[in-house]
């Protein structure tokens, strides 16, 4: 079949696909909108991109197809690998259908290989935010099994791409950025942890050298999948470069019987003039979903770092009383409530209320919390099981394990095989019963270990793919039965942060570390994909449980104020001053909450790495809240100017501290002029353009302090 080149455009983004004589369409372009293009314009662009044949090469120069394969001359990373018992290793697809849907921004390409007996379907579309989503599916049209070993979606990079940004990390320090040059060859990041992992890169980005949040053309991709995965950046010797992503599959993990299909997770691509622009497309995309949380995100108190396993009812009631008086709207009972659970070594899987701790069931604490006007939430870890549990003793075959033995333990626990029908049914019944018999509005769904040797005990076959699919079915079914239930995805903190899990949950727990210094970095880079209303940001205690560092209450409260706000701290014995400060920040968050969770998130590019300026500009542009933090001693003294991105260039804004009660933070020897003017009732007024290009003198803060700055747009002059 022959077809004309396809130009898809929407949301400021263009995609160009051109026919290829020997296979699937060439993915010629992805990036800023090319404007309305006539058929001759598109034809000219296609001609302009045709490569020459060169000495030493094949006679048909290789191009980046929607599915790059050796059969079209491609000798880089292939888009599909698989076989039929060692044969039919090199498929060659012929396009049978190429349709553009009514929106003019979505194409569906179908192709067959009548020799290898495979059918391919590629769906590529641009949504209203300008995000490009690809999904590929391969179907076995033959009479025997076909094994899929890999299937990946590719996105071409613009010629200016010269530098790669991705992220690594560990438990308590997820989303740590790292950069390097985009050189010839393949840069690959793979996760084989059964979940993305604490070291996973939430985004793989490439752009002009030195791109930042405000400047520099940059492109990035995200894989919406909660299991094993791979992302890569590759530059070929011919000079072209691309990003790609797909699921990592173990040997014989996906065996297609005749007529069966395998579909990739969605791979989502964004671009921007700076990372603020790139992340804004993700945020608008997520906020446009019908499942996106619409009501205000309740201020939450979680009991874990407050009481750990000490679930004494009078103590919990006192904690709930104090929380409600501060303006907390949701009270979450964490680990330790179920049968036999006195520490983290036993009882996972025995999801019955412990009668020895709760002789009256959970009703006494739930009724108390609800009478205070708060919602009640409960912690679960449904995918895990302790070997010291009634469940493991009764059903050892429900555990993911290789033949004849258990994998090495992690957190004294093993993993339940949700793809086992009986295990799935048990977990669904237990959760459904607890949710039906109690007034529970929220579930904190935890996942506290990587998967090792994750095989189905019945067959010995690798089981991560089926386990993740079963997890998604379980979450979908619980949401169907309990449509008003909200679910948090926690995985040792932030080890499962992806848009696959967020399609079925209402927020992620960004990290188990709530040290504000660590969280400033973690929240900044998690936010490249995840908007703040889906990120749990809590105020910890005076001394961080994970780092041992001590921080002031204003600093802890201010660094968390932009997200889904909460408290992870025993607040039952606050001093009068602590109580007043905490109540002030909870009230500040609630007064800004609608704008914080609907507005545009921005980060400034400042030359001093100790200085951090981030903010949210309201959706209607009428006001903005910024937080300026000093994370270490500054190289400059005084520290220079702050520039404020994201404001309306021609509008005029009044600038004042958002918490006037904090007065002059830091150790400056005199008052800062613009800050003093605001405190005196005469705030400075500057245009958005001036604030973005010239800025304001930064206050002299002590290390590990934050000043919240409020900007209010003035009415236009008549």
CA 511 to chain centroid: 12
Q: Report how far residue 161's alpha carbon sits from residue 311's, in angstroms, rounded to the nearest whole number.
A: 54
What distance lies between CA 382 and its chain's CA centroid? Answer: 21
What pLDDT score does 657 carry?
97
Per domain, the residue ranges of the chain are: 6-287, 602-713
Whether 512 sits among the annotated catalytic residues: the reply is yes
- pLDDT, tens digit, 9 for 90 and up, residues 168-180: 999 999 999 999 9
**Residue 368 DSSP SS3:** helix
Q: Are 710 and 627 in contact (CB under 8 A)?
A: no
pLDDT in tens, 462-493: 999 999 999 999 999 999 999 999 999 999 99
* pLDDT for 94 beyond 90: yes
Q: What is the mean pLDDT of residues 367-395?
A: 98
Considering the chain, what is the average pLDDT of its residues?
Answer: 96
Q: Which of 516, 521, 505 is nearest to 538 (CA)?
A: 516
Residue 663 has pLDDT above 80, yes or no: no
Question: Is the CATH code 2.60.40.1180 the one for domain 602-713?
Answer: yes
Q: What is the pLDDT of residues 156-169, one digit of tens each?
A: 999 999 999 999 99
- List, edge to edge, every strand of the sheet that includes 6-10: 6-10, 13-20, 23-32
**Residue 314 vs residues 319, 358, 364, 457, 575: alpha-carbon distances, Å:** 9, 12, 10, 44, 20
pLDDT at 1: 66
**What local confidence, expressed as pLDDT, does residue 666 receive?**
79
Report the pLDDT averaged over residues 265-276.
Answer: 98
**Residue of 512, 515, 595, 612 with catalytic role:** 512
pLDDT in tens, 313-328: 999 999 999 999 999 9
For residue 103, indicate whether it is catalytic: no
Q: Which CATH class is domain 6-287?
A: mainly beta
Checking if the pLDDT of 4 tops 90, the result is no
Q: Which of 113, 199, 446, 456 is catalytic?
A: 446
Segment 574-580 shows an average pLDDT of 97
Contact 652, 685 (CB under 8 A): yes
Q: Please state the rounded mean pLDDT for residues 387-409.
A: 97
Please tell me the predicted confidence (pLDDT) of residue 708.
97
Strand 600-603 with 486-489, pairing: unpaired
In this model, does residue 718 exceed pLDDT 80?
no
pLDDT at residue number 664? 80
Biggest distance spanned by C-alpha atoms of the chain: 83
Query: What is residue 690's predicted lDDT score, i.e. its pLDDT?
Result: 98
592-626 pLDDT per residue, tens: 999 999 999 999 999 999 999 999 999 999 999 99
What one-character-per-residue DSSP string does 525-580 give? HHTTTS-GGGEEEEE--SB-TTT--B--HHHHHHHHTTSEEEE-S--TT--HHHHH
Cα distance between residue 118 and residue 113, in whole Å = 5
């Amino acid at each position: 079949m022959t077809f004309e080149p396809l130009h898809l455009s929407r949301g400021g983004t263009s995609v160009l696909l051109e026919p290829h004589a020997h296979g699937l369409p060439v993915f010629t372009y992805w990036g800023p909108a090319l404007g309305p293009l006539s058929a001759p314009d598109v034809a000219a662009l296609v001609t302009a991109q045709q490569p020459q044949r060169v000495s030493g090469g094949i006679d048909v120069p290789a191009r980046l197809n929607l599915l790059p394969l050796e059969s079209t001359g491609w000798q880089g990373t292939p888009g599909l690998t698989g076989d039929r018992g060692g044969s039919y290793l090199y498929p060659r697809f012929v396009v049978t259908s190429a349709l553009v849907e009514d929106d003019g921004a979505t194409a569906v390409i179908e192709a067959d290989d009548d020799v290898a007996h495979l059918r391919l379907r590629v769906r590529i579309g641009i949504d209203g935010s300008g995000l490009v989503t690809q999904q590929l599916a391969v179907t076995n049209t033959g009479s025997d099994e076909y094994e899929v070993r890999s299937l990946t979606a590719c996105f071409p990079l613009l010629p200016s791409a010269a530098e790669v940004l991705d992220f690594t990390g560990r438990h308590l320090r997820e989303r740590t950025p790292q950069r390097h040059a985009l050189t010839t060859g393949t840069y690959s990041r793979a996760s084989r942890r059964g979940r993305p992992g604490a070291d996973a890169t939430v985004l793989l980005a490439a752009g002009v050298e030195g791109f930042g949040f405000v400047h520099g053309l940059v492109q990035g991709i995200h894989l919406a999948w909660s299991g094993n995965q791979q992302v890569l950046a590759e530059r070929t010797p011919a000079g072209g470069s691309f990003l790609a992503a797909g699921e990592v599959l173990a040997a014989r993990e996906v065996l297609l019987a005749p007529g069966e299909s395998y579909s990739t997770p969605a791979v989502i691509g964004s671009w921007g003039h700076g990372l603020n622009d790139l992340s804004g497309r993700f945020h608008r995309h997520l906020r446009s979903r019908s499942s996106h949380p619409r009501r205000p995100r309740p201020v939450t108190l979680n009991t874990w770092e407050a009481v750990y396993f000490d679930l004494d009812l009078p103590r919990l009631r006192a904690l709930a009383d104090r929380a409600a008086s501060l303006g907390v709207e949701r009270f979450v009972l964490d680990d330790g409530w179920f049968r036999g659970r006195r520490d983290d070594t036993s009882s996972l899987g025995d999801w019955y209320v412990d009668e020895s701790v709760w002789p009256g069931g959970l009703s006494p604490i739930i009724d108390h919390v609800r009478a205070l006007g708060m919602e009640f939430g409960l912690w679960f870890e449904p995918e895990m099981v302790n070997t010291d549990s009634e469940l493991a003793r009764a059903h050892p075959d429900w555990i993911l394990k290789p033949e004849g033995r258990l994998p090495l333990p992690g957190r004294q626990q093993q993993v339940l095989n949700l793809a086992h029908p009986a295990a799935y049914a048990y977990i669904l019944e237990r959760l459904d019963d607890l949710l039906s018999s109690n007034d529970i509005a929220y579930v904190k769904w935890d996942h506290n270990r990587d998967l090792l040797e994750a095989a189905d005990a019945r067959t010995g076959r690798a089981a991560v793919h089926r386990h993740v699919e079963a997890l998604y079915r379980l979450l979908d079914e619980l949401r169907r039965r309990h449509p008003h239930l909200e679910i948090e995805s926690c995985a040792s903190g932030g080890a499962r942060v992806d848009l696959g899990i967020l399609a079925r949950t209402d927020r992620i727990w960004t990290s188990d570390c709530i040290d504000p210094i660590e969280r400033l970095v973690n929240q900044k880079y998690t936010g490249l994909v995840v908007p703040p209303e889906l990120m749990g940001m809590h105020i910890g205690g005076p001394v961080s449980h994970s780092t041992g560092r001590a921080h002031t209450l204003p600093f802890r409260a201010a660094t968390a104020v932009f997200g889904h706000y909460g408290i992870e701290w025993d607040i039952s014995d606050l001093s009068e001053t602590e109580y007043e400060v905490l109540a002030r920040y909870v009230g500040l968050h609630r007064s800004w909450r609608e704008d914080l969770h609907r507005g545009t998130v921005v980060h400034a590019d400042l030359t001093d790495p100790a200085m951090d300026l981030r903010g949210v500009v309201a959706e209607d542009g009428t006001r903005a809240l910024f937080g300026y933090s000093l994370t270490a001693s500054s190289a400059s003294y005084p520290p220079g100017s702050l520039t404020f991105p994201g404001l309306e260039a021609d509008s005029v804004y009044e600038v004042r501290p958002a918490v006037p009660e904090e007065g002059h933070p830091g150790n400056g020897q005199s008052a800062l002029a613009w800050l003093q003017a605001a405190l005196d009732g005469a705030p400075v007024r500057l245009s958005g353009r001036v604030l973005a290009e010239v800025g304001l003198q930064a206050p002299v803060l002590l290390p590990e302090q934050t000043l919240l700055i409020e900007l209010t747009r003035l009415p236009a002059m008549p």
